[in-house]
A and B are shown apart, each in its own frame.
Chain A
């Protein structure tokens, strides 16, 4: 079983968000970066579990600069066998998908897993684009994945519930909460990761279809209106007559 897992680098969840260069760039000064939680906890761990069960290999791929090697090594420590870094700053989702699709098209992967979404740009876009470019079936927001031979059984989130389905390899799936339990890399994994192969390739002619012109911070709340704990029923009146939401 040959599996490809897409991993991305995002600011730690507690990061204070700020911008520079006249609000055109994210201010990464002093920001702690991590592997996108959905990629690490769900996509990567499930890929490793399936490899441990059925044999085969897990390759992780990242589109990004050399400083992303820290998260790539972490993925290798968790259990991936080898890694590919496409050496380019990601410009938009299509750029990332096109670069990964160009790499993955002829490598004989059984399936590709991504995270549900990146917690910085919150697109939930790359996986579907990858499937579209490769013309493979796409299962979004998968919460479980089993593979037997060339048939996979998945459950995915749908409006108001879940759907169980089957699909043949090759396919692309995005991993949501529930697909696996997060793993913490152990010392053996960390040591092994140092010598696992990491290949750096050029992005070819991936293109971006969107650009971010500028950022702004959302308008701050004007301040909370406190209601006395002795008269909580006043809340109903305020919600009905002032906020007009009930």
Chain B
């Protein structure tokens, strides 16, 4: 028996959420008396794969079928199901994100496994029944799900658990699920990545701005602030609708949901639909001329004042802060 982790890599390296998933799985394995097997489908060098053991994986299945390195959700799901059967896994842990949204529900349906998508905490394990918390109503509430199917599928929101080193002896095995050509049904034509920039959903720090910035020509100071702290930039829907900023940056109910450690909102009123996309952020800073702006109610730190005065001062201070740190 084991807890299977789908360990996702990006550009031949595991991202922090992969180590969060291993850590999560290690706690689950300890609580249910099993061990952690990591399934690696992406092409990842051996020394990088060894990182998984540092967080508690005792077995690594290293895929040898190059076809599975394309994003074909059905084929990837079949490979995971094979690994579940081979390892007699009692749970499959994913990182909640683009891949899990495409793959995890197919795996769950194929195994008739109860699936909690976007868990925010470790499960409470009571024998066969696991209690798992998940945000619902766009972060306005938390629901306690009970799952008692023999196999459980869980995807965890990034930033829900800190990766904890826990070195373990590891065995690594080649893994080839032996899929027929007919299982590959999606033909990739082109991949377009906005390179160089921090991907918004992976970013730990985010600087965001709204209609209070008056026009797209004023975003220089926002980008400068983001650059100083290595943050990604985001915006309100109003701003994306006005074409001041690209729609990929729009966060909220109808845009992206993000949970960074720090979300700085400049000139954004804090409408409920905007908050829905960002209220999981650990620390929220609001800069707004209107002391009555609803965003202040959701904020940890606030500055009531004009962004055009305040942001340049913050940028100056950040420059000094960076200089002092080095």
Contacts and interface: CB of A to CB of B under 8 A. Distances in A.
Contact of B145 (A38, A97, A210, A239): A210
Given A161-B193, A236-B317, A209 B300 contact: no
Interface residues of A, number: 76
B296 interface: yes
A159 B98 contact: yes
A138 interface: yes
Contact of A159 (B97, B186, B282): B97
Q: Which of B105, B115, B146, B199 gathers most chain A CB within 10 Å?
A: B105
A130 B147 CA distance: 20
A210 B115 contact: yes
Contact of B189 (A132, A140, A166): A166
Nearest to A171: B185
A127 B109 CA distance: 10
A168 interface: yes
Interface string A202-246: 000000011111111110010011111100110110111001011
Contact of A124 (B101, B145, B283): B101
Contacts of A187: none
Contacts of B214: none
B146 A239 contact: no
Q: Tell me what chain A mostly uses at the interface: helix, strand, loop, or mixed.
A: mixed
Interface in A148-164: 153, 157-164
Nearest to A166: B187
A128 B106 contact: yes
A47 interface: no
A128 B98 contact: no
B160 interface: no
A128 B262 CA distance: 32
Contact of A243 (B187, B283, B321): B283
Interface string A66-106: 00000000000000000000000000111001000000000
A243 B300 contact: yes
Interface residues of B, number: 94
Interface in B230-283: 247, 250, 253-255, 257, 261-262, 272-273, 276, 279, 282-283
Contact of A129 (B105, B149, B279, B302): B105
Contacts of A177: 247, 250, 254-255
B109 A97 contact: yes
Nearest to B202: A159
A221 B299 contact: yes
A13 interface: yes
Given A125-B115, A129-B109, A153 B139 contact: no
A163 to B, nearest CB: 5
Interface in A8-27: 11, 13-15, 17, 19
A92 B146 CA distance: 11
Given A209-B113, A227-B302, A245-B205, A163 B273 contact: no
Given A213-B144, A224-B286, A162 B192 contact: yes
A122 B105 contact: no
B97 to A, nearest CB: 6
A165 interface: yes
Nearest to B250: A177
Interface in B74-120: 74, 77, 97-99, 101-110, 112-118
A93 B98 contact: no
Nearest to A101: B109
A100 B125 CA distance: 32
A239 B10 contact: no
B314 A224 contact: no
Nearest to B142: A216
A177 B256 CA distance: 10
B186 A13 contact: no
A61 B301 CA distance: 46
Contacts of A218: 135, 139-142, 279
B186 A132 contact: no
Given A218-B135, A221-B284, 11 more contacts: A122-B135, A128-B106, A130-B109, A165-B187, A209-B108, A211-B146, A218-B140, A218-B142, A221-B300, A229-B309, A239-B262
Q: List 6 A-B pairs, minimum CB-CB distance, nearest first.
A: A128-B105, A229-B305, A132-B109, A233-B317, A161-B193, A132-B106
8 contacts: A94-B114, A158-B193, A177-B250, A209-B114, A213-B144, A218-B142, A224-B299, A233-B316
